[in-house]
Amino acid sequence: MRLFVAVWPARDVIAALRALARPPIDGVRWTPEAQWHVTLRFLGEIDDAAPVVDAVAVAAASTGPCLATIGPRTRLVQDMVWAPVDGLVALATAVVEATATLGAPPERRPFRGHVTLARARRGRLRGIAPEPVAGAWTVDAVDVVRSRLGKGPAAYETVATLPLGGPSLGV
């Protein structure tokens, strides 16, 4: 199964993202709202989710709730549109350290929290301008998520929700 660890924006932040322009541009694929999340760690193909859940539970238990902020503007990064998210570096670091021996090797570059709003073929973002976006929410849990690829957008299934500073809510 293909796994990642993520946090999900609060409803009011989702509403702010929903209000952004999503112009129909050939070669630009806008991310469905159900996929708006911040990936803390991508693990890739994993045979058994239990060791990942256990490792993330340790990281979550040792990390308290934090304030995530989105904005102040969307960004065009490579061939993607991002809404940058700050406030999650310590949480992402704890998750990466706890899962370092599991799945795909952790990325070497510094964590840059974001919600991916669109992906495009090379050069197709020229018609898109960064837009103001703002919001904040308290992150009090992380999810281990399974993604299923196929025709159309990936389907996400939460394997476990792990509260920060506390025990697991289930596997």
Identify the CATH number of the domain in which residue 91 sits. Answer: 3.90.1140.10
% of the chain exceeding 70 in pLDDT: 96
Assigned domain for 169 exists: no
Average pLDDT value for residue range 140-148: 95
Domain total of the chain: 1
* pLDDT tens per residue, range 8-29: 999 999 999 999 999 988 889 9
Assigned domain for 153 exists: yes
Look at residue 107 in the predicted model and tell me its pLDDT: 87
d(CA 148, CA 36): 15
Average pLDDT value for residue range 98-105: 94
Assigned domain for 142 exists: yes
Q: Domain span at residue 82?
A: 2-163
Average pLDDT value for residue range 49-72: 96
Q: Give the confidence band of 39 by pLDDT, cuts at 50, 70, 90.
A: very high
Assigned domain for 154 exists: yes
CA dihedral 160, 163, 167, 171 (to 10 degrees): -10
d(CA 140, CA 163): 6
Neighbours of 150 (CB within 10 A): 7
Look at residue 154 in the predicted model and tell me its pLDDT: 80
